[in-house]
Amino acid sequence: MASVQLYVYDLSQGMARQLSMGLTGRQIDGIWHTSVVAFDMEVFFGQGIHITAPGQSHHGTPVEKVDMGETFIPQEVFLDADKYHLLDNNCNTFTNDVCQFLTGRTIPAHITGLPSEFMNTVLGQSLRPMIDSMFMPQNIPDRTASQLSAAPAPVQNRVAPHTGNTGSTLQYPSTSSSLDQLIANNKAVAVMFTSATCPPCRVIAPEYESMIADISSGDHKVVGAKVDVGTAMGIGQSYNVRVTPTFMFFHDGRKLSEFKGADRRQLQSEIEFLVYTAYPPHPHLRQTHLRLIAELPTKPILFAKHGDLIRITGKVKDLLAKNPEAAKIIEDTHGILVSEDQTSTSTPHASHLAILARWSAILDEALSSVPSTDQFPILDLVRLVLLRPSGYTYYGQHPDKLLAFFSAAAETDMSKPSVLMTLRIAANIFANPSLQSRFITAEHSSERSVMTSLVVKYLLSSDGQIRQTASSIAYNMATWVAQGRRRSGTSHVEDEDWQVELVSAVIGALGQEQEAEVVHRLVSTLCHFIYLSPIDPPSPLPELVQVLGLHGILDDKVKALSSQEQDRCLKLSRELQRLIE
């Protein structure tokens, strides 16, 4: 970031102020020459572009220094300005273009308007040769435009980089009717009016194209257009374009905003405002009182702790003692648990998958022969294996192995230890996205139906520990929905029927629940399901929870909890009540 100043000189050295009224019949305070000072350089136009140290040009001491603001444009400025002339396209036109390019601001109008005003006088016509010679000396010890053009890199490669998509998605309308139609037929349109002889246009154009491409690659479509007013003069006249670059932004066929100049920050801001207007963020995101809900973790609840692995595998060996191959395979499985880090994302070794294939075959046999009351250690080993890369990879390839556990628990009565361990296995499938997708996405509806039945059944268990574990699975399902909405926005595919079924079950369970920890998990589950739910078309969930009396249920739950427990649930429950209102 660098400051930008406008140095103003009087080429008449005060003579215009003294003599103009008597000679011309009008007061002219000075014959203004201007230069731009930035990056510790003074840049001005005169027989080409010149650069000197600030205040060291042949024009003497400036009569005024105007602060033009700050720029984020990089130091190297490439300007093709060899067609300027002092009293037509002059030094002030040049500095005006440069200031617009650097800061988006124009220089004072009394300076830019002076040359044509002065040339309308007899004195101006007579003094033109003298002024030309004063302004265009032949020997100036500084850098010229030709030296500038030999800089290490052209300006379009030195602009502060835009790191996003660089592919172009622009339209190039050539008539007013084609641009009119483009604006009328699209929700959000950005138009850049440019010209071939506009150096700032060449600098800002790549940034504009990149920003449009970035936005268009996401959920929010913004149509970008570029119009060369030099070749499509009718469009420039129709849209009242007087300078280039000019940017205009349209929403639903109406002009939203406009600005002139090559200010990258303003361009970014205007495009973001266009997107915000055309695609307003979800209303929940604008509600600052939903802080706790917005900050709820979206990581699943996993059951990763374990006791003595040797003791666990020893119990499994005892249960499978009749199978002579079991001991070796159980030892190998123990080796996988020890050697693989559950936080690793590396590809498992093929030998480990082979071990688990043999382990699974023995497991099938064991579960059919070992009484359900004694299956706890076997299921505990499966729970731990699922958290290792080999485990979730193997069961991702063979989900039917896990589905058998879940179906048995959902359809039959099992001992508490076996139910608990089966529910913990179900919770641990959320440790890996690929594995969880096999049990929760609409493409695998039969597997998801079993998982949902498992949760619904045990949310109403008479055992508090079982209800707490079942509520953990419900919470994990809700985090999967929340992650999808936050990651994909409006493109996230919602399965409303399944959500309605699960939310109804959670509210029913919440109405009966007395334990604070389970209440908190169920309330958190509902928060994830309802927060950022679709509004176009609207999700049925907000209306559903009102019909089911969630507001009153939350009041009853908070009142029933002890003062210490209330502090944890009260604020979250109040936010949920405001959310559904």
> Is residue 377 reached through a cis peptide bond, with omega within 30 degrees of 0 on the bond before it?
no
| C-alpha torsion angle, residues 511, 515, 517, 522 (rounded to 10) | -10
d(CA 73, CA 55) in angstroms, rounded, equals: 22
CB contact at 8 A, 50 and 36: no
| C-alpha torsion angle, residues 462, 463, 464, 466 (rounded to 10) | -120
d(CA 508, CA 460) in angstroms, rounded, equals: 9
Give me the residue label for tokens 């997107």: 275
Encoding tokens for residue 143? 């850098």
Query: Please, what is the end-to-end C-alpha distance for the chain in angstroms?
Result: 47
CB contact at 8 A, 509 and 522: yes
* Element spanning 64, H or E: strand 64-71
The pairing of strands 254-260 and 41-45 is unpaired
Strand order in the sheet with 49-52: 49-52, 41-45, 32-38, 2-10, 64-71
How many angstroms from the chain centroid is the CA of residue 333? 43
d(CA 323, CA 362) in angstroms, rounded, equals: 8
CB contact at 8 A, 385 and 393: no
**Residue 33 is a catalytic residue:** yes
Query: Of residues 33, 50, 59, 528, which has the active-site annotation?
Result: 33
d(CA 557, CA 544) in angstroms, rounded, equals: 19
Q: What are the CA-CA distances from residue 201 to residues 102, 209, 252 (Å)?
A: 12, 12, 27
For 293-307, the DSSP string reads HHT---SPP-----S
The pair phi, psi for residue 403, each rounded to 5°, is -60, -30
d(CA 228, CA 206) in angstroms, rounded, equals: 15
Encoding tokens for residue 437? 């997708």
Amino acid in the structure at residue 135: F
Q: How many CA atoms lie within 13 A of 389 on its CB side?
A: 13
Angle at 516 between CA 513 and CA 519, to 5 degrees: 50
Query: Of residues 50, 58, 59, 91, which has the active-site annotation?
Result: 91
d(CA 402, CA 442) in angstroms, rounded, equals: 18
Encoding tokens for residue 580? 């559904």
The pair phi, psi for residue 252, each rounded to 5°, is 50, 40
d(CA 63, CA 33) in angstroms, rounded, equals: 10
d(CA 310, CA 335) in angstroms, rounded, equals: 10
Q: How many CA atoms lie within 13 A of 100 on its CB side?
A: 23
Amino acid in the structure at residue 434: S
Q: Minimal CA–CA distance to 452: which of 461, 460, 440?
A: 440
Active site residues: 33, 91
